[in-house]
Homo-oligomer: A and B are copies of this chain.
Amino acid sequence: MAGMAEAKKPGSRVDVATHREVAAMLGRFEHRYTAGRRRLVDVLGGAGRPLSLPEVLAADEQLSQSSAYRNLDVLERSGVIRRLATGGEYAYFELSEPLLGHHHHLICVDCGSVTDVELDDHVERAVDDALHEVAAKARFQPLRHSLDLHGHCAACA
């Protein structure tokens, strides 16, 4: 493990391929991949779960609140990250599905924390088929589905 490089820059918890991909996504919208934005991607990519803004700021002291919000907005519009409406007091942010893969969330109704989970392809397909069917009936153009489980996390139970 120690000698086994994982293609990460020192100080970055996200691999080089991901950073390259992010740079390309930003480039498509004529946005620069600045230090502040790279820090956000490092924090979100290193967390392994969605983070609220306070958590993001706590993870990297160098980030300022307003710029973090502004850059999260840029990253969201460029398709790099996703903003989760959990119903709690904060929005949560995570790398988008093109970077992280399709998945779902366990949302704690007590503390608001969010955990990523994946489901069987078989179930995913059944859900997608069923949703496309009802969407067609309502002349609704589907973009993506969100499937979350609300309940009490291990820590709050």
Chain A residues in the interface with B (C-beta under 8 A): 83-87, 104, 106, 108-109, 115, 117-120, 122-123, 126-127, 130-131, 134-135, 138-154, 157
7 contacts between A and B (CB under 8 A): A104-B131, A106-B138, A106-B140, A115-B138, A139-B157, A142-B150, A144-B151
Point out the residue from B118, B139, B151 that lies within 8 Å of A142, measured CB to CB.
B151
Residues in B whose Cβ lies below 8 Å from that of A83 = 87
**9 closest Cβ pairs, A-B complex:** A85-B87, A139-B154, A85-B85, A143-B151, A141-B152, A117-B134, A142-B151, A123-B130, A147-B147
Residues in B whose Cβ lies below 8 Å from that of A104 = 131
Residues in B whose Cβ lies below 8 Å from that of A130 = 119-120, 123
**Distance between Cα atoms of A86 and B83 in the complex (Å):** 11
How far in angstroms is the closest Cβ of chain B from A3?
33
**Distance between Cα atoms of A60 and B150 in the complex (Å):** 32
Tell me whether B145 and A147 are in contact (CB under 8 A): yes
How far in angstroms is the closest Cβ of chain B from A12?
28
How far in angstroms is the closest Cβ of chain B from A39?
25
Tell me whether B134 and A141 are in contact (CB under 8 A): no
How far in angstroms is the closest Cβ of chain B from A70?
18
**Distance between Cα atoms of A139 and B151 in the complex (Å):** 11
In the complex, the chain B residue whose C-beta lies closest to that of A118 is B134
Tell me whether A140 and B123 are in contact (CB under 8 A): no
